Amino acid sequence: MPELRLAGKRTGGADRTAVVAAAENVSSSRDLVAPRDVASAGPDSFDRLLHAREARFTGSLSPISLALAYLDWSLHLANAPGRRLELTELAWRQWARLGSPSHWTKALPGDRRFRDEAWTHPPYNMIAQAFLLGEQWWHAATACLPGVTKSHANMVSFVARQMLDVFAPSNFPLTNPEVVRATVAQRGWNFVRGYQNFLEDVRRLANDRPLDAAKDFVVGKDVAITPGKVVLRNELMELIQYAPTTERVRPEPILMIPAWIMKYYILDLSPHDSLIRHLVSQGYTVFCISWRNPGPELRDVGLEDYRRLGLMAALDAVNAICGGHKVHACGYCLGGTLLAIAAAAMARDADDRLASLTLLAAQTDFTEAGELQLFTDESELALLDDVMWKQGYLDSAQMAGAFQMLRSNDLIWSRLITTYLLGERERLFDLMAWNADATRMPYRMHSEYLRDMFLHNDLAEGRYKVEGMPVAISEIRLPIFSVSTETDHVAPWRSVYKIHLLNQGDITFVLTSGGHNAGIVSEPDHPNRHYRVERRAPRAPYLDPDEWVAKAVEHDGSWWPAWVAWLDARSGAPVPPPLARKDYPALADAPGRYVRER
């Protein structure tokens, strides 16, 4: 059997030297052996099993981390009588404002809970105003308290906001004018349909079935249908080469590296919004990695394995198939972070096979990684380690819960109102269907990623090692095209912007409308899109994010054509498409096998 070597790095206090089980019909020259039995993990196994069970009741959040944050905040508040007096005075002022409509406040931009016209009329305007003023008071109470650790202050503020969101008047039938209006008009049938939706969802979750509407977006039939062939398959990924649609193509191919926290076909959704199809139509030979959906057998696969067996194995194949031409590499989200690591290692080792680097919503510095940092302190990571140790992976539902809490109003409460109080099913579109088609994360890799990147920021600070030697983003000497999105809650754009601090080379930075996913899936015909773009020449002076926004030119429409123009300027004259090679035969039609794994 083929072997998959795993780096012997320590993760979460235990040696990770076991190896993964072989995939069926994989092509590799190394043998695989079965992973170790989790029951023989050492004397701390009882504690780990206990913590994993506790996590089922806490949503995989560390109760100790929450308690420490609350204790830090409450003790400092108890020791600040002047601050408590200020908060008391603020409460009285808020009550006074409630009785003075001319001094009422407005909901924050992006808060869609009170957008209905009825919220501006009695009695709903008074109800909404009382809630908004209460929100303001709690923000003042939990923010900027001297002496409280920043991470603890952020966590207390976050938890307070989550609790307030539960009791928002929009969540209750009698205080939501839309629900009241629908109930009167439909004589209560909206609640009947809502109850039916609730029973259907309970049955679906119990049987681990997707929404019935997802049948309209079948992989390989409705989405991920750009023609192509799987030309490489190993333990971690399949490499898809897409068929050309033009008589001649640019000699430099494009290699797409998606994140393995998601299935690759976000880059190849329906034909009208497929980025891969768009690139092929512009005369490029496109390759894309389709990652395997890991189970417990891949528990000990590490981040280095994803670099070696994923990105580097794909680059070897692309380079060979395309006759040694340099490659435009494009990484999305976690795939972009992996690409930056690989490019830095290649620069260190004088490997010049890359022509350019494109990073889509990808972070290389994690000091301002947004509210996801709330879930990455030592206590939280220790709990996640124990959860993943028991399972062998982090389940997609556990990851989805964390992401949904970051935007609970949009991703939780608004959907509950629509589905159960209004009795309406949201119309499912391709991006929503893809989002529901989630993947898992291997235990070792995810622990390494959270600790090395989010917790310790090793990549930005020069401590991250590849093959035993550190790598530095500053050593990359390639033109970089970096895309960020305005409302990204996973990779905040100011965090993505820090690539300017880590690399003094040629960087073209784009800030586009939309969020982490919708901002990237931004086809040219998409309405109401805009983006800003600005190039920083090598060694040019640094602009902070606010200065950059003021200087960058805003354009209407999609950023895709701007990227294609950037690639064209760094590519050679069109040539005939590359011929098939015997050493990389077609193994299957796109989209391949791994993308269908559940």
Which residues are known catalytic residues? 333
Facing residues of 509 across strands?
482, 534
Angle between helices 189-206 and 177-186 (to 10 degrees): 110
Question: Is the Cβ–Cβ distance between 256 and 285 less than 8 Å?
Answer: no
Give the count of beta carbons closer than 10 Å to the beta carbon of residue 38: 16
| 324 torsion bin: left (phi>0), alpha (psi -120 to 50), beta (else) | left
Quick one: tokens of 478?
Answer: 């390639």
Spatial CA neighbour of 19 closest among 292, 290, 260, 305: 305
Tell me how many degrees the CA angle 285-328-366 measures, rounded to the nearest 5.
135
Instruction: Tokens for 498, please give them.
Output: 């820090």
Q: Position 339: which residue type?
A: L
Which neighbouring-strand residues pair with 531?
512, 555
Q: What are the Cα distances from residue 422, in Å, to 105, 112, 195, 404, 407?
A: 28, 16, 10, 21, 21
- Contact between 237 and 243 under an 8 Å Cβ cutoff? The reply is no
- Report how far residue 189's alpha carbon sits from residue 185's, in angstroms, rounded to the nearest whole number: 9
Residue showing tokens 């959906």: 293
- 73: its two tokens: 């905040």
What dihedral do alpha carbons 36, 41, 42, 44 form, nearest 10°?
180
DSSP label at 576? Answer: P
Helix (H) or strand (E) holding 63, with range, is helix 63-78
Q: 356-386 burial, b for 16+ CB within 10 Å, e for fewer?
A: bbbbbbbbbbbeebbbbbbbbbebbbbbbbb
- The reply to whether omega before 591 is within 30° of 0 (cis) is yes
Q: How many Cα atoms within 13 Å fall on the side-chain side of residue 20?
A: 29
- Count CB atoms within 10 A of the CB of residue 42: 9
Nearest CA among 6, 55, 53, 49 for reference residue 298: 6
- Residue 83 Cα to chain centre, angstroms: 38
The shares of helix, strand and coil residues in the chain, as percent rounded to the nearest 5, are 45, 15, 40
DSSP assignment letter at 118: G
Q: Bridge-partner residues for 291, per DSSP?
A: 237
Phi-psi region of 224 (alpha: psi -120 to 50; beta: other; left: phi over 0): left
Place of tokens 């629900």: 179
Report which residue type is found at 252. Answer: E
Q: In residues, how long is the chain? A: 598
DSSP assignment string, 182-238 = HHHHHTTHHHHHHHHHHHHHHHHHHTT---GGGGGS-BTTTBS-S-EEEEEE-SSEE
The three-state secondary structure class of 530 is strand
Tokens of 31: 């043998």
Q: Please give the structure tokens belonging to residue 565.
A: 């123009």
575 Ramachandran zone, left/alpha/beta (phi>0; psi -120 to 50): beta
